[in-house]
Amino acid sequence: MGGVTSSMAAKLAFFPPNPPSYKLVADEMTGLLLLSTFPHRENVEILKLPTRKGTEVVGMYIRHPMATSTLLYSHGNAADLGQMYELFVELSIHLRVNLMGYDYSGYGQSSGKPSEQHTYADIEAVYKCLEEGYGAKQEDIILYGQSVGSGPTLDLAARLPHLRAVVLHSPILSGLRVMYPVKKSYWFDIYKNIDKIQLVDCPVLVIHGTADEVVDCSHGKQLWELSKEKYEPLWLKGGNHCDLEHHPEYIRHLKKFVLTVEKPPSQRYTGSRRRSTDQQLLPPRKSTDIVFEASRKSTDRREKPRHSTDKLEKLKNQSNYAEKLRVSFDQVERSRRSVDCCLEKSRKSVDHQLERGRKSVDRIRTG
């Protein structure tokens, strides 16, 4: 039963375009490989890479002059490089990244037949090419897995502890879980992402459409919940399985993510921690989180002995207040004395004038 179910899952997982959307041709002037349906671009290289399984996969490397990251993109189960070409070029431009895409064994002009184990060997060969052929470092690489591509992406990410980041686009919990709502992993299941996501140590972004009829959005949400280092997810309202890149929020959110993970870890979440409506339910994992927590607790310890300080502060405030009142009263008293003095002077002046007037009148009477 297990073998039959595994075979069914594999058959449902792979739908290579037939016929392929492109052919490989050699440029007459340079001898370089090209995709038949696209003109030569100076910053695009087409490669054929051998795998440990004995197949040869076609890769496509796009160079960006300002790039500090390299995106390794594993596409969905019903596409090939000819169909992904324009999107890959656009992503490289908008995200300012180098981008490597590839066709799985049995897809496009890659040799062999598609299978779970072949895709693991395929992505390893492409990753090796990035390191050895283009000098990319693990800490500068972002793995991007779309749909079934989340399988090889998480399998590789679980074995690379220093990756820059992982993007999961309409991902699956496992092949079997796409067909049946099983509660545990069986030996015959394929792409057991639900078990591997917990082994990934870098930031993880999950993008999923809420109206996905192929892979329910619950797959993406559960994988996000199981991630160690969560980044604010993107749940695209009304998004289906194959149209997420057409939503304006897609490229904006993805660009923000790339800019964030390109910063040093200590600066990534300054001002606003990873935001999500569900985030508060989940414990933080990142080492910087531990530092922040320890710092906060240390501050709390320093806060506790402040009772005596608070009393002194209160007394000081009371003393200052009394002093202000005393000064105020003194000012009132001085003002009162000044008024009294003026009144006294005025009274004496009036008395003096009346006295002079009386004496003058007396002189007139006497005379």
Please state, in angstroms and rounded to a whole number, the distance separating the CA atoms of residues 238 and 88. 24
Residues in a beta bridge with 330: none
Q: What is the pLDDT of residue 29?
A: 84
pLDDT band at 301 (very low <50, low <70, confident <90, very high): very low
Please state, in angstroms and rounded to a whole number, the distance separating the CA atoms of residues 115 and 175. 12
Helix residue ranges per DSSP H, the chain: 2-13, 81-95, 116-134, 150-157, 175-179, 193-196, 217-226, 248-261, 287-303, 306-366
Mean pLDDT of all residues in 296-301: 41
Pairing of strands 203-209, 229-230: parallel
Q: What percent of the chain has pLDDT over 90?
A: 65
Cβ proximity of 179 and 189 under 8 Å = no
pLDDT band at 30 (very low <50, low <70, confident <90, very high): confident
Q: Is the pLDDT of residue 4 over 90?
A: no
Q: What is the pLDDT of residue 7?
A: 61
Q: What is the pLDDT of residue 265?
A: 87
Q: pLDDT tens across 213-231, in order?
A: 999 999 999 999 999 999 9
27 vs 194: which has the higher pLDDT = 194
Residue 358 corresponds to which tokens in the numbers above? 């009386």
pLDDT band at 108 (very low <50, low <70, confident <90, very high): very high
**How many C-beta atoms lie closer than 10 Å to residue 40's C-beta?**
13
Q: Is the pLDDT of residue 326 over 70?
A: no
> Over the chain, what is the mean pLDDT?
81
Residue 139 corresponds to which tokens in the numbers above? 């800490």
Mean pLDDT of all residues in 320-330: 46
Residues 6 or more apart whose CB falls under 8 angstroms from that of 175 comprise 9, 10, 12, 13, 116, 151, 189, 190, 191
Residues 6 or more apart whose CB falls under 8 angstroms from that of 54 comprise 112
Q: What is the pLDDT of residue 302?
A: 37
Q: What is the pLDDT of residue 340?
A: 46
Length of the chain: 367
**Three-state DSSP state, 50:** strand
338 vs 129: which has the higher pLDDT = 129
45-54, 129-138, 293-302: least confidently modelled range: 293-302
Cβ proximity of 158 and 194 under 8 Å = no
* Residues annotated as part of the active site: 147, 212, 241
Mean pLDDT of all residues in 254-270: 90
Q: pLDDT tens across 35-83, in order?
A: 999 999 999 999 999 999 999 999 999 999 999 999 999 999 999 999 9
Mean pLDDT of all residues in 283-302: 41
pLDDT band at 240 (very low <50, low <70, confident <90, very high): very high
Q: What is the pLDDT of residue 335?
A: 45
16-20, 127-131, 362-366: least confidently modelled range: 362-366
| Residue 42 Rama label (left phi>0; alpha psi -120 to 50; beta) | alpha
Residue 103 corresponds to which tokens in the numbers above? 């066709």
99 CB-contact burial (10 Å; exposed 0-12 / middle 13-18 / buried 19+)? buried
Cβ proximity of 220 and 170 under 8 Å = yes
pLDDT band at 268 (very low <50, low <70, confident <90, very high): confident
Residues in a beta bridge with 58: 48
Q: What is the pLDDT of residue 266?
A: 86
